[in-house]
Amino acid sequence: MKLLFVCCTILAAAFAATGDECYKDSVRVCKSVLKDNKKDKKDFSLPSCSAKYGAILEMLPELQQYVNSHITRNFEYMLMATHYGNYEKSREGFEKIFMDLSDSKWDTAIDLIKYITKRGGEMKFDNIKADTVNDENASYELYELNSLAKALDMEKELAERAHLIHGQATRRRENLHDPEVSSYIENKFVHHHAETIRKLSGYTSDLTSLLSGPDSSLALYIFDDYLKKQSIV
Amino acid sequence: MKVIISVIVILAFVATSSANLQCEHAKPNIPTEWIDMVKPCVKKMRAQIQTELEASIQYLAMGAHFSRDKINRPGFAKFFFQAASEERQHALKLISYLLMRGELTSNVSKLIKKTIVPPIVSWTSGVDALKDALRLEAKVTKDIRGVIEECEDPKEEEGNGYNDYHLVDHLTGEFLEEQYKGQRELAGKISNLEKMMDEHKALGEFMFDKKLLDEL
Ligand SMILES: [Fe+2]
């Protein structure tokens, strides 16, 4: 009988630890309304009623940095597109793919913020990964092949970061398991990255062989015209 | 023997020259008489692009704040996320304009700062954020007026008196038009919300939020 009682107590304690904290909070705030009638000094907060569960708390810093990296990439691609939009460069195709990439980074940043808050987190705009903005003097006015190469590097970096987040959510660190995070990363990032990276890699191959031909200026003109009709994202 | 050597040399030369990738091309020789924007005006326009992007990120922070579980105002969040994207579009529109006028052929890399941290990240209520938004728009309007003034009658020596009719018209007709309409819309929203919250604080904001969600 004693043993049963002990078991019950342990079970109840375990249940309380994981199960009914929000409920307790709600009971507490409801009582506090009845007890004291002083209008200002009431604590109506329900700290245990957040949307947080799983491993989201540990994942948050990484996710926040990922948002900020997308915002930065959006600006960088914007500059690359601008460069190709000027009358001297006049490469509409290059302008288009870089603007598409910029738009896509921006939309993804918003989507990621919504996701963070869906999982009970908050967005921190000052949590910026140290090496994202490695060089204040970085140039975004690049020749065609170099610009595609730079874009490919940037996309790969974002893809690897997605893998890192996915890995952390999948018990790479002990006790951290959050299949909802890994599923989100897979569906929203992993497959898209593979597409974009493959396309950019293909473009650099094409352009490399075209530029080694007898008339690289004409080749660039034709390749740019081809890019106008491509969708990179 | 001599022939063989010279053939080899020629072959080697052909091989290396065809292995050379021509990635860089000379700048084309285009008349520049048509490029008639003056420096102080261009400078103001470039700065305005950054201003629009900063507004965009401030709205993004508002969207993030109202999306939080403890705040839970999806209507406000949607409204501010949309505003963030609109501000970004304003920046892009200014860039397009400068490109159309033959600008932005150099110094493009310094046009935009790569990171922007929003100055304010939390608000006590929806009406508090809307008021901040209205203040922000008023500031942007003032900045656009500053661009117009500089482009209509540049004071600095480099552009002395050059009236950029088309840009002034464009900024007045398109940008200021949108500013004034947007400000009136915000003021109206603040008015309605504040009156509702006078008597029914929580319920007022709750209902206003759902209305925003439906309308947008
Ligand atoms: Fe704007």
Contact: A88, B30; criterion CB under 8 Å: yes
Alpha carbon distance A171, A164 (integer Å): 11
Which positions ≥6 away from B76 have C-beta within 8 Å?
Answer: B62, B66, B126, B129, B209, B212
Q: Tell me which chain A residue has its CA closest to the CA of residue B19.
A: A212
Question: Best of A67, A74, A122 to disrupt the B interface by mutation (most B CBs within 10 Å)?
Answer: A122
Let me know: does B52 contact B95? Beta carbons within 8 Å: no
b/e code B174-194 from CB counts within 10 Å (16+ = b): ebeebbeebbeebeebbeebb
Chain B positions touching A220 (Cβ under 8 A) are 25
Verify whether the Cβ–Cβ distance A79 to B112 is below 8 Å. yes
Q: What is the pLDDT of residue B13?
A: 46
Rounded Cα distance between A232 and A209, Å, is 20
**Which residues of A participate in the annotated binding site for Fe cation?**
155
Nearest CA-CA partner of A227 in A194, A191, A193, A200:
A200
For position A3, what pLDDT does the model report? 52
Contact residues, chain A, for B118 at CB < 8 Å: 125
In chain A, what are the domains?
Answer: 1-49 (no CATH), 56-227 (1.20.1260.10)
pLDDT of residue B1: 52
Helix ranges (DSSP H) in chain B: 2-19, 39-67, 74-100, 126-152, 165-170, 177-199, 201-215
DSSP conformational letter for A141: -
Q: Do A87 and B18 touch (CB under 8 A)?
A: no
CATH fold group of domain B36-215: Ferritin (1.20.1260)
Ligand 1 center from residue B108 Cα (angstroms): 21
Digit-by-digit pLDDT tens for chain A (233 residues) are: 455 554 444 444 444 445 789 999 898 888 875 555 555 556 678 888 999 998 899 999 999 999 999 999 999 999 999 999 999 999 999 999 999 999 999 999 999 999 999 999 999 999 999 876 656 778 999 999 999 999 999 999 999 999 999 999 987 777 789 999 999 999 999 999 999 999 999 999 999 999 998 889 999 999 999 999 999 98
Q: B88 contacts in A (CB within 8 Å)?
A: 106
Asked if B40 and B155 touch (Cβ cutoff 8 Å), the reply is yes
What residues of B are in contact with residue A211 (Cβ under 8 Å)? Answer: 21-23
Is the Cβ pair A82, B111 closer than 8 Å? yes
Indicate yes or no: CB of B108 within 8 angstroms of CB of A68.
no
Closest partner residue to B67 (CB to CB) among A71, A113, A133 is A113
Q: Does B67 touch chain A (CB under 8 A)?
A: yes
Specify the pLDDT at position B2.
59
What pLDDT score was predicted for residue A138? 87
- pTM of the predicted protein model: 0.89
Residue B152 known to bind ligand: no
Residue-wise pLDDT tens digits, B110-126: 999 999 999 999 999 99
Tens of pLDDT, residues B39-56: 999 999 999 999 999 999
- Beta-carbon contacts of B92 under 8 Å, excluding residues fewer than 6 positions away, are A78
Q: Mark yes or no for CB contact A79/B118 under 8 Å.
A: no
Nearest residue of A to residue B53, measured between CA atoms: A75
Q: Which residues of A153-187 are buried (b: 16+ CB within 10 A; e: fewer)?
A: ebbeebbebbeebbebbbeeeeebebeebbebbee
Domain boundaries, chain B: 36-215
For chain B, state the CA radius of gyration: 26
Residue in A72, A87, A144 nearest the CB of B30: A87
Residue B137 labelled as part of a binding site: yes
Residue type, B5: I
Q: Which residues of A touch B61 (CB under 8 A)?
A: 123, 125
- Cβ <8 Å between A114 and B67: yes
ipTM of the complex: 0.90
Which of B21, B92, B108 has the CB atom closest to A141's CB atom?
A: B108
Cα within 13 Å of Cα(B120), Cβ side: 17
Count of C-beta atoms within a 10 Å radius of residue B58: 22
Question: In tens digits, what is the pLDDT along chain B, a chain of 216 residues?
Answer: 555 555 555 544 444 445 578 888 888 999 999 999 999 999 999 999 999 999 999 999 999 999 999 999 999 999 999 999 999 999 999 999 999 999 999 999 999 999 999 999 999 999 999 999 999 999 999 999 999 999 999 987 888 899 999 999 999 999 999 999 999 999 999 999 999 998 888 999 999 999 999 988
Torsion of CA B134, B140, B145, B147, to 10 degrees: 180
Q: Residue A176's pLDDT is what?
A: 83
Q: How far apart are CA B8 and CA A77, in angstroms?
A: 46
What DSSP designation does B84 have? H
Max CA separation in chain B (angstroms): 105
Q: B116 in contact with A at a CB cutoff of 8 Å?
A: yes
String of b and e for B128-153 (b: at least 16 CB within 10 Å)? Answer: ebbbbbbebbeebbebbeebbebbbe
Structure tokens at B182: 């947007």
As a whole number of angstroms, the distance between CA B88 and CA B63 comes to 14
Q: Do A125 and B21 touch (CB under 8 A)?
A: no
Gap from CA of B209 to ligand 1 centroid (Å): 23
- The whole-number pLDDT of residue A37 equals 54
